[in-house]
Amino acid sequence: MCGIVGYIGDKDINSVLMAGLWRLEYRGYDSSGVASVMDGDMDVRKVKGRLMNLQERLADKPLLGNIGIGHTRWATHGEPSDQNAHPQVGCKNQIALVHNGIVENYYTLKEELLKRKHFFKSNTDTEVIAHLIEENYNGNLKESVLKTVSRLEGSYAIAVICTEEPDKIVVYRYGSPLIVGIGKNENLVASDIPALLDHTKDIITMNDGELGIMQKNKVEFFNNEGKKITKEKRTIKWSAESIEKVGFPHYMLKEIHEQPKVIQDNIDLKIKGKEFNFGENFGFSPKELANLSHIIIQACGTSWHAGYIGKYLFEDFARIRTEIDISSEFRYRNPIMDGEPLVMAITQSGETADTLAGLREAKAKFIKILSLVNVRGSTIARESDSTIYLDAGPEIGVASTKAFTSQIFQLYLFSLYLSKLKWTLNDSEINKKIKEIKALPKKMNKILEKENQIQEMAKKFKDSKDFMFIGRGINYPTALEGALKLKEISYIHATGYPAGEMKHGPIALISEGSPVVAIATKSSVYDKMLSNIEELKSRKARVIVIGTEGDKIIKKLGSDVFYIPECTENLSPILVSIPLQLFAYHIAVLNGRDVDRPRNLAKSVTVE
């Protein structure tokens, strides 16, 4: 949450900072700002609202100088406003800083600072950091930052500039991501890689408790004691095109359409004949895995839904008991982790605060951690014992789509691997399943070719108010995901239920015309779903059915039917998800929503 960017070099500071902020807009977009140092003066521009407002402000009155910091905000403390936007400055306009995270003890610190006659201009927690750095400043920015952060509780990534030291940006990371980009006669810093890609592919990922001093021709790193440390740089492979919309009106639509390729790339990377290759960061031995007593999956939002699907897969294929929990619950519930469990963290960003905290809880108890992560080198990837990367490419739309189907793919493959190690499936059963996986991309493309059908359905239902999504078995979590997609981007209320639960309460909500999306593909629970749909039809609900090609019965039941190609029950969530994503997308577009930047949300949730 919140995007930080910083630049020192010869390029025009306005364009570099703005281009970086546009790339980070998915992290927050309620206000933004920039600051630079020129001739001993601190120059700050901050505006409420979308980044375009800042761009217009800078077009009128550009910043001067060769060193600057910028920020796009997702408000935590203080409403979105010009004053609360970052950069925040101290009393003397000598220090300016941008911050991502939360200072949990800000109230106490603010009280102290007020007593010492500091004057506050915002309601943010961030402003206390600026005042403290200013108060601690005695000619050495590095020292004053280190002294200041020793007083802070919570999570924070900061980038600081100072009028007295106009040749450097000091950055510090604790709990929120910061990546330094190493260029030629220029250096950059950002919360995420896309903001650096236009300038360099050589990056250094900062760890918690590390401070960096960035100058035009060098970057140095220090630990909390101020001792110099050496850090390795690495080169990233993402192309600039992978972060563009390439002709699609929204990132979300582009990412939905990328899914067949993502699955194909993953097949090519991870299935080697009859063997699985989970990549260089997968470090567990077959023996360790065969001896697992159970699996605990913890994740948030869409990643939690994928994890829930994983539970069905692990239990069905590998016959291994699997718990699934939402990370914000898992981290505070004192879970029992006896035996030889494996804790799995599933996350697109690899930075989600609650998922990270859940991982650390488990690590503190010496439990093995396997993470499924999209962003290489992210905190969760680095802190896990083993990582399977999603290899989905950058996901920029706030609503997760391709990362979700890739997560299901990885869980499917990993469950097959476990079933091999535990002898719960034999070779020919596994080979058959591999064949079915290999047929997926073609089937996914077939669904995407019928996008217009979904668009037509969306037109019919765009004004409906309360949606229910129902499914059974492995498609119960898919129903939850369908409801989440719709509500988060269209702001239409939607809720997901296991179909069998309807008569235990929720069916009371059904009246004439109530929209219900029912997942009734051919499966072990197909007949049960038919009965549930009948019950809804008897109460005059408008049922949209996701069914399997060739199913004639379903046609008679659903008000609208969307057919997916035939596939096995355990793989069906990957196919079923696509029409659900498209349905949410088109309803949101028809309602004029800002699909890639839904209100109140941000892509990377780095605060709890």
Q: Which of 301, 498, 565, 579 binds ligand F6R (CB under 6 A)?
A: 301
The catalytic residue among 2, 162, 300, 567 is: 2
Structure tokens at 497: 């239920």
Residue nearest to ligand F6R (CB): 301
User: CB of 21: closest distance to ligand F6R in angstroms?
Assistant: 20
Candidates 298-306, 361-369, 513-521, 543-551: pick the segment binding ligand F6R (CB under 6 A).
298-306
Tell me the CA distances in angstroms from 350 to 355, 376, 457, 512, one per residue in order: 8, 8, 35, 44
Place of tokens 């192309």: 239
The catalytic residue among 110, 270, 311, 603 is: 603
Site membership for ligand F6R, residue 406 (CB under 6 A) = no
Structure tokens at 281: 């960061």
The helix or strand, by DSSP H or E, that contains position 484, with its residue range, turns out to be helix 475-490
Using a 10 angstrom Cβ sphere, with 0-12 exposed, 13-18 middle and 19 or more buried, the burial of residue 427 is exposed
Candidates 90-98, 286-294, 296-304, 422-430: pick the segment binding ligand F6R (CB under 6 A).
296-304
Structure tokens at 91: 């009393």
Cα–Cα dist 130/86, whole Å: 11
Q: Answer whether the bond into residue 87 is a cis peptide, omega within 30°.
A: yes
Site membership for ligand F6R, residue 581 (CB under 6 A) = no
Residue 162 designated active-site: no
Q: Which is nearer to ligand F6R, 192 or 385 (CB)?
A: 192
User: CB of 534: closest distance to ligand F6R in angstroms?
Assistant: 32
Quick check: 457 and 562 in contact, CB under 8 A?
yes
End-to-end CA distance of the chain: 10
**Residue 460 amino acid letter:** K
Q: Which residues is 73 bridged to in the sheet?
A: 31
Site membership for ligand F6R, residue 393 (CB under 6 A) = no
Q: Going residue by residue from 329 to 358, which x/- string records binding to ligand F6R, judged by CB under 6 A?
A: ------------------xxx--x--x---
Q: Which is nearer to ligand F6R, 369 or 399 (CB)?
A: 399
User: CB of 363: closest distance to ligand F6R in angstroms?
Assistant: 17
Q: Which is nearer to ligand F6R, 300 or 543 (CB)?
A: 300
Q: Which is nearer to ligand F6R, 8 or 300 (CB)?
A: 300
Q: Which of 180, 381, 605, 607 binds ligand F6R (CB under 6 A)?
A: 605
Tell me the CA distances in angstroms from 188 to 9, 137, 212, 304, one per residue in order: 9, 24, 11, 34
| Binders of ligand F6R in range 474-533 (CB under 6 A) | 484, 488
Residue 2 designated active-site: yes
Candidates 194-202, 295-303, 362-370, 454-462: pick the segment binding ligand F6R (CB under 6 A).
295-303
User: CB of 197: closest distance to ligand F6R in angstroms?
Assistant: 19
Site membership for ligand F6R, residue 97 (CB under 6 A) = no
SS (H, E, C) 271-308: EECCEECCCCCCCCCHHHHHCCCCEEEEECHHHHHHHH
Quick check: 608 and 353 in contact, CB under 8 A?
yes
Q: Which of 17, 145, 297, 300 binds ligand F6R (CB under 6 A)?
A: 300
Using alpha carbons only, what angle is made at residue 325 by residues 532 and 309, rounded to the nearest 5 degrees? 50
Place of tokens 């035939």: 566
Total residues interacting with ligand F6R, rule: CB under 6 A: 14
The residues annotated as belonging to the active site are 2, 603
Q: Applying CB under 6 A, which residues contact ligand F6R?
A: 300-303, 347-349, 352, 355, 399-400, 484, 488, 605
